[in-house]
Amino acid sequence: MFESYTIKDIAKALGLSTSTVSRALNGSYEIGTETKKLVLEYAEKINYRPNPIALSLKDQKSHSIGVVVCEVANNYFSQAINGIESIAYNRGYHVIITQTHESFAREEANIQHLLSRHVDGLLVSISAETTDTSQFKYLLDKGFPIVFFDRVVADIEAHKVTADNFKGSFDAVELLIKEGFTKIAHLTNSNNLLISRERLEAYRAALNAHNIPFNPEYVKHCNHGGMVQEEVEVAVNELLNLNPRPEAIFIASDRLTTSCISIIKRLGLGVPDNIAIVGFTNSNVAELFDPPLTVIRQPAFQIGQIATEILIKNIESKYPLTEFVTQQLQTEIILRSSSNKL
What pLDDT shows up at residue 56?
44
As a whole number of angstroms, the distance between CA 5 and CA 3 comes to 6
As a whole number of angstroms, the distance between CA 9 and CA 168 comes to 47
What pLDDT shows up at residue 226?
79
Beta bridge partners of 109: none
- Which is it for strands 294-297 and 326-329: parallel, antiparallel or unpaired? unpaired
What pLDDT shows up at residue 212?
98
Instruction: Using alpha carbons, select from 71, 52, 69, 50 the residue that is nearest to residue 60.
Output: 52
Is residue 99 within 8 Å of residue 72, measured between CB atoms?
A: yes
For 211-233, how does the pLDDT look when each residue is reduced to its tens digit (9 = 90+)? 999 999 999 999 988 788 899 99
What pLDDT shows up at residue 43?
86
For 34-65, how does the pLDDT look when each residue is reduced to its tens digit (9 = 90+)? 888 898 888 888 878 766 545 544 556 789 99
Beta bridge partners of 163: 329
315 in the Ramachandran plot: left (φ > 0), alpha (ψ -120 to 50) or beta? Answer: alpha
How many Cβ atoms from other residues are within 10 Å of residue 269's Cβ?
A: 14
As a whole number of angstroms, the distance between CA 274 and CA 295 comes to 18
The residues of the chain scoring below 50 in pLDDT are: 1-2, 53, 56-57
What pLDDT shows up at residue 342?
67
As a whole number of angstroms, the distance between CA 96 and CA 83 comes to 14
For 189-215, how does the pLDDT look when each residue is reduced to its tens digit (9 = 90+)? 999 999 999 999 999 999 999 999 999
What pLDDT shows up at residue 3?
53
What pLDDT shows up at residue 173?
98
Sequence-ordered list of residues with C-beta below 8 angstroms from that of 106, at least 6 positions apart, any chain: 99, 100, 127
What pLDDT shows up at residue 216?
97
How many Cβ atoms from other residues are within 10 Å of residue 137's Cβ?
A: 16
Is residue 165 within 8 Å of residue 296, measured between CB atoms?
A: no
Q: How many CA atoms lie within 13 A of 140 on its CB side?
A: 21
Domains and CATH numbers, the chain: 1-48 (1.10.260.40), 52-162+300-329 (3.40.50.2300), 165-298+332-339 (3.40.50.2300)
As a whole number of angstroms, the distance between CA 76 and CA 299 comes to 9
As a whole number of angstroms, the distance between CA 152 and CA 193 comes to 8
- Which is it for strands 159-163 and 121-124: parallel, antiparallel or unpaired? unpaired
pTM, to two decimals: 0.81
What pLDDT shows up at residue 222?
94
Q: How many CA atoms lie within 13 A of 161 on its CB side?
A: 22
